[in-house]
Amino acid sequence: MPPEARTKRPTAGSGIPASRANVARPVARRGGDPASSSPVFRLDDLSVYYGSFKAVRNVSMSIPQQQITAFIGPSGCGKTTLLRCLNRMNDLVDIARVEGKVLYHGVDLYDEQVNPVEVRRRIGMVFQKPNPFPKSIYDNITFGPKVAGVKGNLEEIVERSLRRAALWDEVKDRLKDSAMGLSGGQQQRLCIARALAVDPEVILMDEPCSALDPIATGRIEDLMEEIKTDYTIVIVTHNMQQAARVSDMCAFFTAEINEHSDTRTGILVEFDRTETMFSNPQDERTENYVTGRFG
């Protein structure tokens, strides 16, 4: 595959919500060297276990702010596992356990005092298969703000979130209809809108387009491009072109076979700017993977 990663240009903050319009945006930070911008996440020697099985080991990396970071790698190398550590979604799996640190703006997410519910409000998630609640479009969006105790104007939140997710025009006349009646692509955009409605800082996306056709995929990619001015996005994808198209930073994982047991543990091979990853990877395994010679 030709390295066709586009260089990211900082776009003007056109669609910034009113609440944040007055915040000075350090433009130089975006698209620049990740090391220089203060990271949103710092993973410090992170290992994840399911029971006694080590799914991912010794991952250290910094995820920069207001950029799109892509996780790529072969199936089963622990991308989903790692992603779900970033908002403590793995707490829902009984046997899951982490070692090492996940620092979110310097705060250890796995600190005793930290409440996972609060974490997930700030770090939203979009799942592989669109999973709208079997309720109305309106209720889908308002559920998050309601449980977070937002007293303000819910209609406004609904409209703003749907506009941001580029879904408003398609559904504005049927907000009270069931979300299950939407097409797959619309459902996924609704899920993104639902995540945006609680005003998170980070949005984690686990293969958000894998259940969608190319046109719907294109719309979601445009949407990510559009909202990254306000959000930090981490996306898992199997689609190399997608990673190249949308991401600023790219992490390649692979699974190494454990010597004594017949299991595989995921490791981080390389993490760099997307252009570098696709044009001039440092590691041979990365090169093989991105050029399609893997396995």
Write down the least CB distance from residue 103 to other proteins, Å. Answer: 10
Q: Which part of the chain contacts Mg ion (CB under 5 A), choosing from 20-28, 76-84, 150-158, 164-172?
A: 76-84
CB closer to ligand ATP, 79 vs 121: 79
- CA gap 141, 139 in Å, rounded: 5
In sequence order, the β-bridge partners of residue 273 are 249
122 interacts with other proteins by CB under 8 A: yes
- Cβ contacts of 267 within 8 Å, gap of 6 or more: 56, 57, 58, 59, 77, 253, 254, 255, 256
The correct pick among 5, 8, 30, 40 for binding other proteins (CB under 8 A) is 40
Write down the least CB distance from residue 76 to Mg ion, Å. Answer: 8
Q: Which residue is nearest to Mg ion (CB)?
A: 80
Cα angle 72, 78, 81 (rounded to 5 degrees) comes to 110
Pairing state between β 249-257 and 264-273:
antiparallel
* Residues in region 66-125 near ligand ATP by CB under 6 A: 75-81, 93
The correct pick among 34, 73, 78, 132 for binding other proteins (CB under 8 A) is 132
The correct pick among 37, 67, 69, 80 for binding Mg ion (CB under 5 A) is 80
Residues near ligand ATP (CB under 6 A)? 50, 55, 75-81, 93
Residues near Mg ion (CB under 5 A)? 80
Residues near other proteins (CB under 8 A)? 19-20, 23, 38, 40, 65, 87, 89, 92, 94, 104-109, 111, 113-115, 117-122, 124-127, 129, 131-134, 143-144, 147-150, 191, 194-195, 197-199, 201, 232
